[in-house]
Amino acid sequence: MYKTFYGLHDWPFSITPDRHFFVHLSTHLSCFKKLQTFVGGDEAMALVTGDIGAGKTLMSQKLIKYLKTQDALVIELHNPILGAIALQKHLAQGLQIKTSHYPNQDIVALIYQKLVERFHRKQLVILIIDEAQNLPEDTLEAVRILTNLVIQQHRLLKVVFFAESSFIEKLQKPNCLALWQRVSEHVVLENLSLDELAHYVHQRLVRAGYHGADLLSSRAYQVLYQWTAGVPRLVNRVMHPLLEIAAEQQKKTIDHKLVMIVAENNLGKPLQHKPMVSWLTPVGVAASFAALTWWYWAAAHS
């Protein structure tokens, strides 16, 4: 077990999202700040999109934790393959409405009544929908109708969608355009750059109890980026077995060759044909120097 060898008290690269390991990277902080601004405003819908494994679920967990500190009522939906009525009942139950006592056609009116009560208590109600790309079109229309509920020109319900990038195509279809036009904040959760990947790996190790220098060499980070394209989940999929093997070999520094072997065994093929060179890393500096040397040589012999 590599925890003992590297002095860790927790598993730093679990596939399961854990907000304890949220790393404050620029792209993630920007996303979170925009969501905070949305929550404090009067618009109805926000959307966070990103590639599979980009960290959307972890971002939703961080948002939920923040909302609870603001005394908001958070209603989560993790199984979005629901029809319109099922969605309404899910929201109603979150508002402590016993839907079994009423016919389906009364549910929206009951939701409105409860939302008004929360409004007068100055409590925000927000619906968080994860994996929103799986929502059927009739359910999306039900969401749009629910965000129409207002009092004194204030919207009573906010909705934040977390979805894969393909969700945009669904929203731009004619049947969903009315909802798409209601989305006031669309945040794209970008994959990590090379420098961010290195920071991500080191910070997760530190949060798990590590106190040493970077475990990976600069070239090892380049190879890790080449194979994962900066997708956090894929980074985790490589790093966990990588640390197991490195600990067995008692490595205090992990080289690019071992990263390549483990990445190939776990991912099959690289997502990037060539690793992106960061000009802030030693590799980037060397590349810059080589380019300048060639330029001067070419100028001198032209």
Residue 9: per-residue pLDDT: 94
For residue 44, pLDDT over 50 is answered with yes
Distance of CA 48 to the CA centre of its chain: 8
Model pLDDT for residues 106-165, shown as the tens digit of each residue: 999 999 999 999 999 999 999 999 999 999 999 999 999 999 999 988 999 999 999 999
Model pLDDT for residues 69-111, shown as the tens digit of each residue: 999 999 999 878 899 999 999 999 999 998 888 888 899 999 9
Q: Give the closest residue to 217 by CA, choosing from 279, 282, 285, 277.
A: 282
Residue 288: per-residue pLDDT: 44
More confident: 23 or 225: 225
CB atoms within 10 A of CB 280: 12
Model pLDDT for residues 272-286, shown as the tens digit of each residue: 644 444 444 444 544
Contacts of 30 (CB under 8 A, 6+ apart): 187
Could you give the C-alpha distances from 150 to 89, 153, 179, in angstroms and in order?
Answer: 19, 6, 16
For residue 290, pLDDT over 90 is answered with no
Q: Which domains, ranges and CATH numbers included, belong to the chain? A: 26-189 (3.40.50.300), 194-300 (1.10.8)
Could you give the C-alpha distances from 226 to 25, 48, 54, 197, 271, in angstroms and in order?
Answer: 19, 25, 16, 11, 6
Residue 272: per-residue pLDDT: 64
For residue 216, pLDDT over 80 is answered with yes
Answer whether 60's CB lies under 8 Å from 130's CB: yes
